[in-house]
Chains A and B, each alone.
Chain A
């Protein structure tokens, strides 16, 4: 799906989140020179087009008692990494699952899973369960617990709308 300048402007405006007012789509549109129907239509199209993977309440794990999070990584041969990734990505206890390039010699791992749990022991148990269930014991592996959060905000992908486009 190709995004227009107006889509990008909307993406930018949504970075702060939907305002808590009775007609939030109208309020977002008012900043952009769009009416409510256009805002809703563009969000709908981006959702249907897969640009928006999820639209809804975005919670913060840590504040809700999921105090431990670990980036669990494996080094898996290229021939099978996608298949293993798909299986891990479908596991309900995996929050995110990505393939990324290794960077030798510092970083040999190419498959990344984020795991959240109420405490460290819970996360360790989840990881051990994944290793058993998906037979990952033979692959080099590391679990990087986070010890400190320096920043967590929404992504800022959007571009502000050009004035001429806003006036269209």
Chain B
């Protein structure tokens, strides 16, 4: 029983680490394809509706990532009042963000190819 829990915990930890590394890339990619600036809830909906399990974290954990991407100048945002609720922060990607996305996509592909090759045993150990 205890072993099961440990395995489960280890799997969760691995998943979390893996996905927290890729969430910035996913967010940049979504916003680079968006025709209009998007607010947080739309982005989380978009992620949830996608294939696969998506980032294995609460939706709330995406917001600080958006904030940090904005702080580094990859995204920009503006606040607009909404009809009935609190104002919404609309995010859009900056030119620097698009360049970074291309760069990171390259890194992602290299990493993926490397990991795939290792897992399939194409590489000599």
Q: Do A and B interact?
A: no
Q: Which residues of chain B have a CB within 8 Å of any CB of chain A?
A: none
Q: Which residues of chain A have a CB within 8 Å of any CB of chain B?
A: none
